[in-house]
Amino acid sequence: MSIGTFLLNKENLDLVGRLSWQRGRPQIVEQGMRYYDQHPDDVAEVSDSLAFMGLPHTGAALDEVLRHIAIHYYEKLFGLVKRYETVWIARNRVDVGESLAPFHEAREQGKALFIAECHFGGTYLFPGVLMANSIETAMVGRYPEPVLSMFRATARELVERYGTAPIHLLNVDDPGTDVPFEMMTRLMRGGVVSNVFDEPNQFARPVTLLGRTIRGGAGMDLVLRSFSDDKVVVVTPFLVRTSDETFRLEVDRHLLSCGDIVASFFASLEVRVRAHYAQWYFIHELHEARLDV
């Protein structure tokens, strides 16, 4: 059993749905820390991966990493079942500053926009931020049932009741959907497409992060090689947790003309990992991307 399997269950969906952020979040985090108390092998794996990356990996520093992994799963549950609260947090607890300027530029200039996401910070709250800021997006991901139906129902209600922009889900596990074709088509038509760049899938290649070589990229360079900067704006967003209930959206702009767009993505991720390593929740799955194990 993984921590994801342990926390993502019907009972916790009900708990998060019933309780406010202030009451539900601590309970899920407590469950997550209890899981790690009972699974020292998982803790050792996280510690080993932190050490491999040259990051703090013992004591209070390790505990903080584990806590943020549990927080990530609370936010995942929250994003599936909360409606009004999702919009309220997106509009009142996220400091967007000038971070959405590239999004507005793309819209004003009639360009497509590609969002390269990664496993850092409040990723599962980011769809709500896009929706609340009127950015209609096609999001690529793995959406097994009942997650797919729940996400669609929540997104539909946000549109109908709170006037947000819609989100379109492109499910890579749906054999009836040609996801690469859909991505290319939407970009060619000037749409907004989001996908992750740090997963070690079949299209991943060696990349450098914090001076270490791991597998990443997820084939995003293969998708983007058909486009140029005059057609597509490319960004990496990072929803940084600034307290137990507040966030700051940081967005980096990337140029396809830079040569290696995936390396540019990982350079942005490295800046955030150095500043907030505990929020890099992919660390508990990093063994899947490492070349030395």
Within-domain flag for 162: yes
Within-domain flag for 136: yes
pLDDT band at 1 (very low <50, low <70, confident <90, very high): confident
Residue at 131: amino acid letter: M
pLDDT of residue 236 exceeding 90, the answer is yes
Six token digits for residue 53:
């990356």
Within-domain flag for 16: yes
SS3 234: strand
Within-domain flag for 153: yes
pTM for the model: 0.96
pLDDT band at 32 (very low <50, low <70, confident <90, very high): very high
pLDDT of residue 19 exceeding 80, the answer is yes
Six token digits for residue 269:
């991720």
Within-domain flag for 66: yes
Within-domain flag for 72: yes
Q: Which domain holds residue 208?
A: 3-288
pLDDT of residue 22 exceeding 80, the answer is yes
Angle 171-174-180 from CA coordinates, rounded to 5°: 60
* Distance (Å, whole) CA 292 – CA 71: 29
* Distance (Å, whole) CA 154 – CA 165: 13
Mean pLDDT of the region 12-25: 97
Within-domain flag for 293: no
Q: Which helix (H) or strand (E) holds 42?
A: helix 40-52
pLDDT of residue 6 exceeding 90, the answer is yes
Domain count, the chain: 1
pLDDT in tens, 206-231: 999 999 999 999 999 999 999 999 99
Within-domain flag for 201: yes
pLDDT in tens, 81-103: 999 999 999 999 999 999 999 99
The per-residue pLDDT of the chain, averaged, comes to 96
Q: Where are the beta strands (DSSP E) in the chain?
A: 94-95, 112-117, 137-141, 167-171, 192-196, 205-209, 212-216, 232-241, 247-254
Residue position matching structure tokens 């985090």: 29
**CATH code where residue 213 lies:** 3.40.1130
